[in-house]
Chains A and B, each alone.
Chain A
Amino acid sequence: MTGGIEESGIFTAIWWVIATLTVAAALLVVFLQDLVKAAMGLIGTFLGIAGLFVMLNAEFLAVVQILVYAGAVSILLIFGIMMIRDTQRGSQANSLRIPAFALGAVLVGIITFVVLDTQWNLLGEAMLTAAVQAGVEEAFSDSPPVLGGLLLREFVLPLEAAALLLTATLVGAIALVKGE
């Protein structure tokens, strides 16, 4: 699975650019006072994560990410911001600033330690036969049919539950906003 483009320096360079932009956009979402600008940062974060999905050979998910997040969810949030006048005067941070920062820093530290300390069972280092190797290449290069098969076989119950969840959410949201 390794080799080819992922070994090249250009892959590394593109990864660092996308990672930096994604983190910067996420920081804008958290720190900007003007919520419309924060929503623009949120769209930037979503697009950066779609780029990361492409680098992870998950092109289908990248398209879903752009359609659902950068398209639907962000438009919904911007409508919400614009409907509520309260948001125009900005959003101050509350008194939890220092504990929350400490919590985030500790979390990143612990996760970094665990990730670097774990002996990962990597795909690139596994002893795979040629047939398995070919299957792996095929699954990642042509993922939508594989995803569809998984959704309708192994994950058919969660799929139906998700459909039910979306219906219940739709009805619930209408019932909440409609009022009496």
Chain B
Amino acid sequence: MIGLEHFLILSAVLFAIGLYGSLTRRNAIAVLMSIEILFNAVNVAVVGVARYTTPFGLTADNVDLLLTGQVFALFIVTVAAAEVALGLAIVITMYRNQGSVEVGEANIMNH
């Protein structure tokens, strides 16, 4: 039987994959894609906790609060969409300025 633990551990595995990708990839767009996996892993955990656990003091009047986790996930989706749009704009500017999107070569601010 599938329970909360399954979803949380799956979320941890996805998070670790995204973390590995965002640390090891050299291409800035590949790093952005790995960061999207990180956001999605967190969403799975948040929605899973909202589905399987019960808050203290749950009554018939405040049963709506059970879906707080889903509201959090909606906000994470919004922030992730903003992040990818701005990230791509930065990557395109970087490509224009130095002709490369390698993360290791982005050292223009070092001088």
If the complex has contacts A162-B75, A166-B82, are A100 and B20 also in contact, measured as CB distance less than 8 A? yes
Contact A162 B79 (CB under 8 A): yes
If the complex has contacts A77-B88, A91-B26, are A146 and B64 also in contact, measured as CB distance less than 8 A? yes
- Which A116-172 residues sit within 8 Å CB-CB of chain B? 116, 120-124, 126, 128-129, 131-132, 134-136, 138-140, 143, 146-147, 149-151, 154-155, 158, 162, 165-166, 169-170, 172
List, in ascending order, chain A residues with CB within 8 A of B67's CB. 139-140, 143, 146-147, 150
List, in ascending order, chain A residues with CB within 8 A of B100's CB. 86
Contact B26 A120 (CB under 8 A): no
For chain A, what secondary structure do more than half of its interface residues adopt (helix, strand, loop), or is it mixed?
helix
Give the size of the chain A interface in residues (CB under 8 angstroms). Answer: 96
A173 to chain B, nearest CB (A): 4
List, in ascending order, chain B residues with CB within 8 A of A126's CB. 54, 58
Residue of B nearest to A90 (CB): B27
Contact A57 B51 (CB under 8 A): yes
List, in ascending order, chain B residues with CB within 8 A of A53's CB. 44, 47
Contact B91 A84 (CB under 8 A): yes
List, in ascending order, chain A residues with CB within 8 A of B50's CB. 56, 58
B56 to chain A, nearest CB (A): 8
List, in ascending order, chain A residues with CB within 8 A of B91's CB. 80, 84
If the complex has contacts A49-B44, A73-B84, A147-B74, are A177 and B93 also in contact, measured as CB distance less than 8 A? yes
13 pairs, A vs B, C-beta closer than 8 Å: A19-B6, A22-B14, A26-B37, A46-B40, A58-B70, A86-B27, A86-B95, A86-B99, A100-B20, A115-B4, A121-B55, A123-B53, A173-B86
Given A121-B55, A154-B65, list of 15 further CB < 8 A pairs? A26-B37, A42-B37, A86-B27, A87-B27, A96-B23, A107-B15, A121-B56, A140-B67, A143-B70, A150-B68, A158-B75, A173-B86, A176-B92, A177-B93, A179-B96
List the interface of chain A (C-beta within 8 A of B): 6-7, 11-12, 15, 19, 22-23, 26-27, 29-30, 35, 38-39, 42, 45-46, 49, 52-53, 55-58, 60-61, 64-65, 68-69, 72-73, 76-77, 80-81, 83-84, 86-87, 90-94, 96-97, 99-101, 103-105, 107-108, 111-112, 115-116, 120-124, 126, 128-129, 131-132, 134-136, 138-140, 143, 146-147, 149-151, 154-155, 158, 162, 165-166, 169-170, 172-174, 176-177, 179
